[in-house]
Structure formats: structure tokens, C-alpha cells
């Protein structure tokens, strides 16, 4: 095996593969990254059994020049550290002996021990499933906005990830832990996939997809068997999916409200952040919102720490001027943080019904939080 390639581009491609690797895996070969060099391309593959990544560099892309085909299995971490320390624009990579790869530049040479390529499992990528195409930046934003409601350790397995579905011309991304729901809607018209395109992506996989998504361009989401693939430029990201039926949260979304508070998101966020009292013992921080006489009173207290009270009148109101409702302040803070609009709306029914946070400036996102019955 012998090829040369642009050093910085190779770092980027190895980084994609290296991030998902579980160095604590009992099988050493799984901790490696495969380099498959053929006459016309270089393919890098890595896996952690849940997620697998395959990235392909074609001849002449990234200055790739292949002199001899071959396969090796490297330790990504060491390989990356060494590539980063080099100064050369182009790096030569060769393997003559079985267990050593040589990285060389103009005046220097690294010889690195490698793993045994023959120990690496064969990984099948399901590349031909039902698929939809979305904007990378839209998808990244949507995942960040909805992942907040997912509890990775939820006992009901299907809730420990995000639900993707296509219904009524809308691509829904939904997360819920039973106490709150994050829902993102992206218009997407595809009659032949209506009601058929649905998958549940594990929490960890969502985090990795977010890291992999660039700010520009489009990506393809493809589902097949119990796998979902995301095609991003020259890279295929494949994850196993969560089994089970995701609850139909759209059906339980409240639509009629007694009170709507229109408020500047930043100001309201700071107010609730103040009510979120510091504490070490992980007690659930409850914040109480009282609306009366066109004023909001925010109160909170934690036995060991102390208490907080603030009066707030910088908002507009529609509906009943009389509410008294309590929440988990962490949930409220995390929800508020997902809105990029200047103004938001807090929609209330009464002390026992879920609140819905939304924005008329961008109606694609809704955050629901169940109240707490602290009083």
C-alpha cells in the first residue's frame, strides 16, 4: 500500500471516523480505522457497533495519488496526533512490512505500529433504503432543538432517542421524556413515503450526526431494515435504530389556551435563570410563575440554599390575567434556549395542563412542558 494525500484533508476525514470509536471496546481491532486503498479511491471505515462511518476519497480529490492498493487498520488517535504535528502539505503513507505504516514528509519519517486488518469485522452499509433529502443546516438546528427533551437512559427504549416521521406533508422530528416534548416541523412533500417513512435514532447517534453535519449543502436520510443512513457529502453515517412504537404526541398537543404571554426571549431566559438557584444535591429546582394584575411574579426556593423572588412586567398579554403554575426550571431554561427568535409566546391553560412555548416569527418549533404540582 502506498499513497499520498493532502495532510489537512486527511486529518478531517480521519476525525469523522475517529470520533465515534469506543476505545474501551473489549476488541482492540474495533478501536481501529480501516484504510481500504483501491486503484481509484481511498475508503476509511470505523464503527462502535451502534454507529458505523464510511468516508470515500476519490483519486485526485484532496490531492490523493495512489501508487499501490492495499488495506491497513490503524489506531486513529496516534495517527491523528502525528498528522497534526507535521508541517508538510502532502503526506506519504506506505505499508511495506505487515505491522508497520510509515508516514513521511520531506525531511521526516514516522513509523507506526498498526493493528491486524484481518481481525476487522465486515460492515454492511444499507445504502438503498427509502430516502428524503434535507438541508444540512436545517437538520442540525432541528436536532439541537429537539434532543433536549430526550433522556438517554429512559427505560422505555423507544423514547431514548429522536423520532423522525413523514406525515401530512411534514417531516417531523420529535423528542420526549414523558415530562416534556420538543417538536420540529419541516415542510416535505413526498406522497409515496407518507406514513411509511419513520425511524427512531438513538440519543448518542443524534449527537454524532450533529457533529458531522456541515453548515451548508444537503444530506440524504435513508431508512432500511433496522438501520438509518445519513449521506453527507462523501461520508455515510449508519446507525442502528430504536425498536418500538413512538407515541403519537401530535394528537395530545393542546391547541386552545386561556392565556398567552408575549415576551422577549432573552429577558425571560435571564429571569428564569436567576430563579434557577444553585444547589449541589440535585434537588429538582421548582420555579413558580404567578400572573396577576398584569405582572409576573417568579419565585423559587431550595431548602438548603435559600429563596428567590422577582417582579416582571415587560410583556404583553392575551386572555386571562390570573395564573399560578409551577415548573422544573431546568426544563424551562433548556426550552427557551432552543428559540432563535426575538419574541416567544408562552401559552397556558391552567395549573395542571401542559404549557406550550412557541413563536409566531418561526412556527416550526414547539416546546411542551408539563407543570409540577408543588403547591
- Site for a second copy (CB under 8 A): which residue of 26, 191, 195, 278? 278
| Rama region for 225: left / alpha / beta (φ>0; ψ in -120 to 50; rest) | left
Stretch that binds a second copy, among 82-90, 150-158, 180-188, 254-262 (CB under 8 A): 82-90
- Residue pair 213/206 in contact by the 8 Å Cβ criterion: no
Q: Give least dist CB 88 to a second copy, A.
A: 11
Judged by CB under 8 A, does residue 82 bind a second copy? yes
- Is 58 or 267 the residue whose CB approaches a second copy more closely? 267
Judged by CB under 8 A, does residue 306 bind a second copy? yes
Please enumerate in sequence order all residues whose Cβ is within 8 A of that of 255, keeping only pairs 6 or more positions apart, or say none.
none
Judged by CB under 8 A, does residue 304 bind a second copy? yes
> What is residue 373's DSSP assignment?
-
- Is 107 or 352 the residue whose CB approaches a second copy more closely? 107
Cα dist from 109 to 64, 66, 73, 94, whole Å: 19, 19, 19, 11
Rounded CA gap, 126 and 54, in Å?
11
- Is 103 or 223 the residue whose CB approaches a second copy more closely? 103
Q: Where would I find the beta strands (DSSP E) of 233-354?
A: 235-240, 259-264, 286-292, 295-302, 306-312, 315-319, 322-328, 343-348
Judged by CB under 8 A, does residue 8 bind a second copy? no
Q: Give least dist CB 329 to a second copy, A.
A: 12
Judged by CB under 8 A, does residue 360 bind a second copy? no
Rounded CA gap, 34 and 75, in Å?
9
DSSP characters for 182-227?
Answer: EEEEEE---GGGTTT-EEEEEHHHHHHHHHH--SSSEEEEEEETTE
Cα dist from 206 to 113, 142, 146, 281, whole Å: 33, 11, 10, 29
- Site for a second copy (CB under 8 A): which residue of 40, 81, 116, 322? 81
- Site for a second copy (CB under 8 A): which residue of 78, 121, 226, 324? 78
Q: Give least dist CB 351 to a second copy, A.
A: 23
Q: Which residues 255-274 are close enough to bind a second copy by CB under 8 A?
A: 270, 273-274
Judged by CB under 8 A, does residue 310 bind a second copy? yes
Judged by CB under 8 A, does residue 24 bind a second copy? no
- Site for a second copy (CB under 8 A): which residue of 305, 317, 320, 370? 305
Stretch that binds a second copy, among 141-149, 181-189, 194-202, 308-316 (CB under 8 A): 308-316
- Site for a second copy (CB under 8 A): which residue of 26, 98, 107, 128? 107
Please enumerate in sequence order all residues whose Cβ is within 8 A of that of 254, keeping only pairs 6 or more positions apart, or say none.
347, 349, 353, 354, 356, 368
Question: Which of 347, 349, 350, 348 shows the shortest CA–CA distance to 363?
Answer: 347
Q: Give least dist CB 265 to a second copy, A.
A: 15
Q: What are phi and psi of 130, to 5 degrees?
A: -65, 135
Q: Give least dist CB 112 to a second copy, A.
A: 4
- Site for a second copy (CB under 8 A): which residue of 58, 65, 68, 100? 100
- Binding mask 111-140 vs a second copy (x if CB under 8 A, - otherwise)? xxx---------------------------
Rounded CA gap, 310 and 300, in Å?
9
Contact positions vs a second copy (CB under 8 A): 77-78, 81-82, 85-87, 100, 107-113, 270, 273-274, 277-278, 304-312
Amino acid at each position: 500500500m502506498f499513497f499520498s494525500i493532502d495532510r489537512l484533508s486527511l486529518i478531517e476525514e480521519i476525525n469523522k471516523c475517529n470520533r465515534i470509536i469506543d476505545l474501551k471496546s473489549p476488541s482492540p481491532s474495533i478501536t481501529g480505522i480501516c484504510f481500504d486503498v483501491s486503484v481509484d479511491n481511498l475508503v476509511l471505515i470505523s464503527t462502535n457497533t451502534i454507529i458505523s462511518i464510511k468516508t470515500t476519497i476519490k483519486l485526485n480529490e484532496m490531492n490523493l495519488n495512489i501508487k499501490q492498493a492495499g488495506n491497513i487498520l490503524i489506531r486513529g488517535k496516534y495517527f491523528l496526533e502525528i498528522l497534526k504535528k507535521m508541517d508538510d502539505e502532502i503526506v506519504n503513507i506506505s505499508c511495506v512490512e505487515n505491522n508497520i505504516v510509515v508516514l513521511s514528509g520531506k525531511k521526516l519519517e514516522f513509523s507506526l505500529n498498526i493493528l491486524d486488518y484481518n481481525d476487522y469485522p465486515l460492515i454492511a452499509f444499507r445504502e438503498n433504503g427509502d430516502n428524503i433529502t434535507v438541508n444540512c443546516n436545517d437538520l442540525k438546528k432541528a436536532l439541537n432543538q429537539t434532543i433536549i427533551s430526550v433522556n438517554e437512559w429512559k427505560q422505555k427504549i423507544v423514547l431514548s432517542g429522536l423520532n423522525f416521521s413523514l406525515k401530512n406533508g411534514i417531516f417531523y422530528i420529535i423528542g420526549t421524556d414523558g415530562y416534556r416534548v420538543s417538536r420540529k416541523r419541516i415542510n416535505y412533500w413526498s406522497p409515496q413515503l407518507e406514513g411509511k417513512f419513520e425511524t427512531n435514532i438513538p440519543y448518542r447517534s443524534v449527537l454524532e450526526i450533529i457533529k458531522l453535519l456541515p453548515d451548508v449543502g444537503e444530506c440524504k436520510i435513508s431508512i432500511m431494515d433496522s438501520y438509518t443512513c445519513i449521506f453527507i457529502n462523501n461520508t455515510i453515517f449508519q446507525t442502528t435504530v430504536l425498536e418500538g412504537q413512538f407515541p403519537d404526541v401530535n394528537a395530545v398537543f393542546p391547541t386552545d389556551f386561556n392565556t398567552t404571554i408575549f415576551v422577549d426571549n432573552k429577558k425571560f431566559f435571564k429571569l428564569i435563570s436567576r430563579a434557577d438557584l444553585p444547589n449541589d444535591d440535585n434537588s429538582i429546582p421548582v420555579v413558580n410563575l404567578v400572573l396577576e394584575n398584569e405582572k409576573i411574579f417568579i419565585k423559587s426556593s431550595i431548602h438548603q440554599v435559600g429563596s428567590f423572588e422577582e417582579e416582571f412586567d415587560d410583556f404583553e398579554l392575551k386572555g386571562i390575567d390570573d395564573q399560578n403554575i409551577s415548573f422544573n426550571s431546568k426544563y424551562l431554561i433548556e426550552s427557551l434556549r432552543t428559540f432563535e427568535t426575538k419574541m416567544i409566546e408562552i401559552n397556558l391553560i391552567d395549573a395542571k395542563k401542559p404549557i406550550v412555548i412557541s413563536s409566531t416569527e418561526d412556527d416550526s418549533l414547539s416546546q411542551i412542558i408539563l407543570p409540577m404540582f408543588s403547591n
